Amino acid sequence: MDISSGSIAIFVKNIKVSKEFYHDLLGLPVYLDFGKNVIFKAGLAIWEIQDSHIIPSILGSDNIKNKSCNRFELYFESGNLEAVFKILKSNHVRFVHEIHEEPWGQKTIRFFDPDHHLIEIGESMRIFVNRFYEQGLSVEQVAKRTSVPVDEVARLVKSF
């Protein structure tokens, strides 16, 4: 199966308060800041999930806000999400959702491990950014579509 480690995503109630805690107090350097999703260089991500997102829309908003369940997810990336999906499906994994395109354009799948921990596998940023670039969008248009900074899009496109 083609997956690599991505990060641990912690769902937070208030992104501003949590960013101040992890960045200002603990000193974790920010790698990328998407507003409601902040990724630190240490491999940790904090995410203020909106009720309209696919996770609370399927699992229920109360389950995401409840401190006792589904407050984090293990995140991995894959260069071939469709192949990973087929393997998981053939092994009767319990899905939260099958392949889904997120509002920022990344394709993801979410499912539970045997202990009901939430796991996400998504296209790598390099893959989904280049998918839009190969569709004819300029670097600036890809940045606007995906919320990935222009300089990061240019770097990803150049490395593809």
Q: Which tens digits make up the pLDDT trace of 139-149?
A: 999 999 999 99
Q: Which residue has the higher pLDDT, 35 or 25?
A: 35
pLDDT attached to residue 70 = 58
Cross-strand partners of 120: 75, 110
Contact in structure between 82 and 99 (CB atoms under 8 Å): yes
As a whole number, mean pLDDT of residues 114-136 equals 90
Q: Which residue has the higher pLDDT, 39 or 21?
A: 39
Average pLDDT, the chain: 87
Q: Which of 10-24, 54-68, 138-152 has the lowest mean pLDDT?
A: 54-68
DSSP code string of the chain: ---EEEEEEEE-S-HHHHHIIIIIIT-PPEEEE-SSEEEETTSEEEE---TTSHHHHHH-HHHHHSTTSS-EEEEEEES-HHHHHHHHHHTT--EEEEEEE-TTS-EEEEEE-TT--EEEEEE-HHHHHHHHHHTT--HHHHHHHH---HHHHHHHHHH-
The C-alpha atoms of residue 142 and residue 150 are separated, in whole angstroms, by 8
pLDDT attached to residue 147 = 94
Radius of gyration for the chain, computed over Cα atoms and rounded to the nearest angstrom: 16
pLDDT attached to residue 63 = 63
Q: Which residues of 129-158 are buried (b: 16+ CB within 10 A; e: fewer)?
A: bbbbbeeebebeebbebbebeeebbbebbe
Label residue 67 by pLDDT band (50, 70, 90).
low
Tell me how far the alpha carbon of residue 79 is from its chain's centroid. Answer: 14
